[in-house]
Homo-oligomer: A and B are copies of this chain.
Amino acid sequence: MNVPSRRGFVNITGAVESAVVRSGVREGLALVNAMHITASVFINDDESGLHEDYEKWLEALAPHEPVSDYRHNETGEDNADAHLKRQVMGREVVVAVTAGKLDFGPWERIFYGEFDGRRRKRVLVKVIGE
């Protein structure tokens, strides 16, 4: 992942579906997690208005500024808020794989949530089963 802004949401459902197909697993579980601690993987709606609501809400719950309000930022970082926002949205999702596909409800889509972007990060997909 390489989100060009500090924060953003990216629909990664298609990439996860491809990984499930490549795994050959028909019945099992797929784990999808951010490998970085200022990012999230979560499941919700692919609706841009909702994503704006998340952005505004998370910024109210854990404001980026003033950066000096956070002890973590005394290390030279300015991303303490990103570590907090990521806890609200979560690190990972675990999705059932049934008949070789992600076993989803009607509106479930997988998103990567970036809270400290403008650099390259990775998402892990692990599929187990038979």
Residues of A76-102 contacting chain B, CB below 8 A: 80, 83-84, 86-96, 98
Contact residue among B37, B48, B128 (Cβ-Cβ distance under 8 Å from A107): B37
Report how far A36 CA is from B104 CA in the complex, Å: 9
Q: Is A10 an interface residue (CB 8 A)?
A: no
Q: Does A91 lie within 8 Å of B93, measured CB to CB?
A: yes
Do A71 and B49 form a contact, CB below 8 Å, given A29-B126, A42-B87?
Answer: yes
Residues of A1-48 contacting chain B, CB below 8 A: 27-29, 31, 33-37, 42-45, 47-48
Assembly of this chain: how many copies? 3
Main secondary structure of the interface of A (DSSP, over half): mixed
Q: Does A104 lie within 8 Å of B35, measured CB to CB?
A: yes
Count A-side interface residues using an 8 Å CB cutoff: 55
Report how far A37 CA is from B108 CA in the complex, Å: 7
Do A31 and B94 form a contact, CB below 8 Å, given A37-B44, A83-B44?
Answer: yes
Chain B residues whose CB sits within 8 angstroms of the CB of A94 once the complex forms: 31, 33, 92, 94
Nearest opposing residue in chain B for A123, CB measure: B105
